[in-house]
Amino acid sequence: MSKTKGVVIGVNGNMATIEVDGAVAMNEVGYIVLPESKTRLKSEIIRIRGNQCQMQVFESTRDVANGNEVEFTGELLVAELGPGLLGQIYDGLQNPLPQLAEEAGYFLQRGIYLQPLDITRKWDFTASVKAGDTVSGGDYIGSVPENSFDHKIMIPFNMTGTYTVKSIKENGSFTIRETIAEITDERGESYPLTLSFYWPVKRAIDCYSEKMKPTEPMITKIRIIDTFLPVSKGGTFCTPGPFGAGKTVLQQQMSRNSDVDVVIIAACGERAGEVVETLKEFPELIDPKTGRSLMERTIIICNTSSMPVASREASVYTAVTLAEYYRQMGLDVLMLADSTSRWAQAMREMSGRLEEIPGEEAFPAYLESTIAGFYERAGAVRLKNGKMGTVTIGGSVSPAGGNFEEPVTQATLKVVGNFLGLSRERSDARKYPAIHPIDSWSKYIGVIDPKAVAFARKVLFRGIEVEQMMKVVGEEGTSEDDYLLYLKGEFFDAVYLQQNGFDPADASVTPERQAHVFTYVMDVLARGMKFTDKTEARNKFNVLRMKFLDWNGTMWQTPEFQKMEKEVDTMIKEMADGSYLAGSEFLKRGN
């Protein structure tokens, strides 16, 4: 605890102005003490001017008054890192919510701060270094089993320089507070090590050798993403869309099916009802990778829209810090933030109370740099031991009225590598996932040949153009060639870009199945076809579409799957006239 003290001289919403009697630092944590109840309200310094500072309070400021004492800790806002994080549900300050509910009852009380990790549980520690070994920050000194993972115990990241292992406990069971090793620096000063340590959440963890360009696709088993709009491990993506377009459901689907080791969900200002749905469903879901509960490799940081706005910022940074921690173990981590718009709104609210010069739509002028700083903490890194670890960050954005031109969406699009724009038109038409295949884009390489994807996108785009034209001139005023392009675009959208999340076979599609089915879809798009009239063309495509949908609903490589495949193949050959569209020769199936 710092010797510096302060007193409250002003309160504006969840911001308090403090007069201090000593030195304080930006982002330092302090506690406002309510004299009657002795309740201590956690706060963080966000501006310093002379002998005064402004603090954002992570609790309701009800009953805070002039003259209340403030105690400063001399420490920054930190997260505790160690075994026992997986499966936890935290608030933005890393308080475990289930235990908080047990202690506080139905209504969470102010001033209660619990240990993030269980300090009584013993962990089976296995040492990987011995006395006399040389180590530095981020190096492994041992491991403990955590669910299905080998949780690495590391030298704290802030210990720069070279250290010598003075002693280390033999294999045994220890709590996170017991000393398991002792190291000395070059001056001979000794430092005890435990299974856990603390790290400032607003400082990126950078104990790695090199940051790499993301190249390996992150398989989500969602066709429109893996094929059309791929995400890379260590990359960034955003999912803007109007309310009710399916952002939260899409993120939940990705967290269930993505090819990653750990999933961290930050509900930073999301509506409480959607958070409750996540909390109820995840413990009951079976992880296809382990056959156990999905929650065993998931961490949820829960800060709903009814909680204090300052906690939204804390929840975002706490979540990304935990993600970086598991990346240091050589794991692939997916971090999802829902929704960054409400985090930005919290920044706008605090900026207004600080009386800063507003930017566009009253958001702070530093909105873009703050959002960029958050997404920059993603990445694929090569660790000091040669292992690779990744953090993939995906943020949902909730622009008012679905307007993608608003500041938060535009600031996000400038820094992410993938844009999964959700469409009101598609969600109203029950086309899920409601990602717009033309407006959206990706800078990454997926599981399908980019030439084939570009050709499919061209056919789809032309089909949409014809559809718009038909709304004016009608079906009768459309040429047969244009009408065929329209049917092909509708077919591609229905059988490949849309996906049935309630079907056991279609809910998650492996890359092998995607590539296999895509060759048949491309056969339809690339082949020339001849029909007697538009009615026959429409009827044949309707039948083919239903066959494809039935095929999508069969389990991969079963006799039923192969039977449906033959039926689809036969019908495609019956519809084709032997020619191919210009520029599609390289797509011929079998080449």
- Binding residues for ATP, as ranges, are 241-248
Q: Is 264:299 a contact under the CB 8 Å cutoff?
A: yes
Q: Which tokens is 437 given?
A: 């295949």
Q: Is 491:541 a contact under the CB 8 Å cutoff?
A: yes
Q: Is 568:551 a contact under the CB 8 Å cutoff?
A: yes
Q: Is 435:421 a contact under the CB 8 Å cutoff?
A: yes
- Computed over its alpha carbons, how large is the radius of gyration of the chain? 28
- Bridging pattern class, strands 262-268 and 298-303: parallel
- Phi-psi sector, 344: left (phi>0), alpha (psi -120 to 50), beta: alpha
Q: Is 517:565 a contact under the CB 8 Å cutoff?
A: no
Per the annotation, binding residues are: 241-248
Instruction: Give the integer Cα–Cα distance in Å for 292 and 279.
Output: 16
Place of tokens 């993938």: 418
> What CA–CA distances, in Å, run from 442 to 65, 229, 512, 529?
51, 5, 21, 32
371 forms beta bridges with none
DSSP string, 164-185: EEEEEPPSEEE-TTS--EEEE-
Q: Which tokens is 29 given?
A: 């944590």
Q: What is the largest CA-CA distance in the chain?
A: 90
Residue type, 281: E
Instruction: Give the integer Cα–Cα distance in Å for 79 and 369.
Output: 23
